């Protein structure tokens, strides 16, 4: 086990023998760190937290600390981080609260760029990219393969759908549809299907074309949401992805961007 002599580690911390703890890192009580995970230096980790394998924490990341929620009064909530994540400089990840299930979680293979903030009770899936300075408010859910670009702010309780891209410096106050590109240069609106990302993930051409057409219906100013959904069901061949899109719309509690 490679632990720098300047690191401060609570006696209750459980660190895999293959993990590396760099200079001036601080690990509090109830911290569990998996195999080959590396803390480069000056990282601050507070438990209860479970960190999986092959993660890389860059300097000045602050993980698992108490939430910025005035309703939080020290209850024993926790943080869970999966495998192969990159946590860059000055990232902050806050543990859960009683009002949100007591857990903040990060999946696998994510890149959280510098100054990203993941607030209490948020859940980031796998293969996501959260850009520089992006902020996820409390209780936010980010689906797999999503990209939240630099400077974007996601309001509490919003959902970010799978395989979508949120454009830089967007203000997100409602759910972002899966498979979409959504931006807010001056106003937040649905732009189009995330064609490039979907092609890279191996989605069929017919599936992407069906999503393109669906988003055109959703954006048509002559159609309300119910009318657009009727046209989608009547005119586009149903696929699992299209079923997911319609299900996402049907279960939206905050409304969605279009």
CATH at residue 203: 1.20.1180.10
Q: In which domain, by residue range, is 128 found?
A: 2-142
- Do 219 and 129 fall into the same domain? no
**CATH, residue 34:** 2.160.10.10
- Do 136 and 232 fall into the same domain? no
Domain contains 257: no
Residue identified by tokens 């989608």 is 232
- Do 113 and 241 fall into the same domain? no
- Among residues 142, 177, 212, the one where a domain terminates is 142
Which residues are within 8 A (CB) of 20 and not within 5 positions of it... i.e. 6 or more apart? 1, 2, 3, 37, 38, 39
Q: What is the pTM of this model?
A: 0.92
Please tell me which residue in 42, 107, 108, 121 is annotated as part of the active site: 121
Please tell me which residue in 34, 64, 125, 138 is annotated as part of the active site: 138
- Do 21 and 133 fall into the same domain? yes
- Do 135 and 203 fall into the same domain? no
Backbone angles phi, psi at 220, to 5 degrees: -65, 115
Distance CA 102, CA 104 (A): 7
Domain contains 230: yes
Answer for the pair 182, 167: CB distance below 8 angstroms, yes or no.
yes
Ramachandran area for residue 229 (φ above 0: left; ψ -120 to 50: alpha; else beta): alpha
Q: Catalytic: 120? A: yes
Say how far residue 97 (Cα) sits from the centre of its chain: 18
Domain contains 115: yes
What 3-state class would DSSP assign to 246? helix
Q: Catalytic: 127? A: no
Domain count, the chain: 2
- Do 55 and 122 fall into the same domain? yes
Please tell me which residue in 58, 94, 117, 120 is annotated as part of the active site: 120
- Do 88 and 8 fall into the same domain? yes
pLDDT (tens, 9 = 90+) of the chain, 258 residues, equals 699 999 999 999 999 999 999 999 999 999 999 999 999 999 999 999 999 999 999 999 999 999 999 999 999 999 999 999 999 999 999 999 999 999 999 999 999 999 999 999 999 999 999 999 999 999 999 999 999 999 999 999 999 999 999 999 999 999 999 999 999 877 788 888 999 999 999 999 999 999 999 999 999 999 999 999 999 999 999 999 999 999 999 999 999 998
Q: Catalytic: 138? A: yes
């Amino acid at each position: 086990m490679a632990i720098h002599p300047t690191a401060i580690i609570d006696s209750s911390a459980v660190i895999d023998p293959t993990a590396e703890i760099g200079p001036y890192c601080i690990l509090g009580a109830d911290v569990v760190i998996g195999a080959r995970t590396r803390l480069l230096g000056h990282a601050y980790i507070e438990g209860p937290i479970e960190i999986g394998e092959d993660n890389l924490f860059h300097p000045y990341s602050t993980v698992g600390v108490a939430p910025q929620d005035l309703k939080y009064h020290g209850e024993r909530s926790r943080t869970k981080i999966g495998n192969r994540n990159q946590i860059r400089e000055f990232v902050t990840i806050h543990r859960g609260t009683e009002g949100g299930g007591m857990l903040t979680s990060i999946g696998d293979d994510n890149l959280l760029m510098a100054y990203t903030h993941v607030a209490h009770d948020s859940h980031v899936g796998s293969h996501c990219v959260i850009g520089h300075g992006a902020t996820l408010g409390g209780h936010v859910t980010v689906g797999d393969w999503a990209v939240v670009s630099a400077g974007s702010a996601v309001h509490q309780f919003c959902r970010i759908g799978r395989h979508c891209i949120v454009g830089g410096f967007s203000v997100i106050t409602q759910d972002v549809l899966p498979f979409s590109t959504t931006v807010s240069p001056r106003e937040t609106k649905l732009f189009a299907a995330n064609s490039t990302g979907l092609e890279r993930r191996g989605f069929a051409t017919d599936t992407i074309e069906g999503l393109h057409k669906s988003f055109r219906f959703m954006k048509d100013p002559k159609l309300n949401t119910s009318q657009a959904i009727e046209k989608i069901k009547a005119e586009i061949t149903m696929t699992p992805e299209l079923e997911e899109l319609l299900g996402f719309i049907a279960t939206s509690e905050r409304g969605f961007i279009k």
